[in-house]
Amino acid sequence: MGDLFDWALSAVQGKERWRNSTPLPWTEEKARFFAALRAFDGYLASDAELHASAEALFQGPIADALGHVGQLAMLRRLADSPTRGENFFVAKIDLGQVGADQPQPVQPFR
């Protein structure tokens, strides 16, 4: 996932490149993911020129990341350790809130 958001950032910066990074230990990989997501979000929120269209970003790295999240959810269910669903339509979402600390679900699916 870190590679996906590094790729997305490089695309919007006009220097598109893909790298297959060697996975880091879990704690470091989580930090890397949130740093990549924060950098991508920060660039999108800035006044800098976007060198990739929203359509290409959603069709490419963002759709890929959503697919991976679905795969993880499926694997957790298969391992008898499901995550609780959340209704993101009514979730408390704030601009720039891209770290690990997130608000509690406001309306979980049951």
pLDDT in tens, 22-52: 999 999 999 999 999 999 999 999 999 999 9
Could you tell me if residue 110 is inside a domain? no
pTM, rounded to two decimals? 0.85
Helix pair angle (26-45, 2-12), 10° resolution:
20
Could you tell me if residue 84 is inside a domain? no
Could you tell me if residue 27 is inside a domain? yes
For the chain, state the CA radius of gyration.
Answer: 15
Could you tell me if residue 67 is inside a domain? yes
Could you tell me if residue 104 is inside a domain? no
Could you tell me if residue 107 is inside a domain? no
Q: What residues make up the domain containing 42?
A: 2-78
Which position has the token pair 């989580």?
30
Could you tell me if residue 85 is inside a domain? no
pLDDT in tens, 56-110: 999 999 999 999 999 999 999 999 999 888 888 888 888 899 999 988 888 766 6
Number of domains in the chain: 1
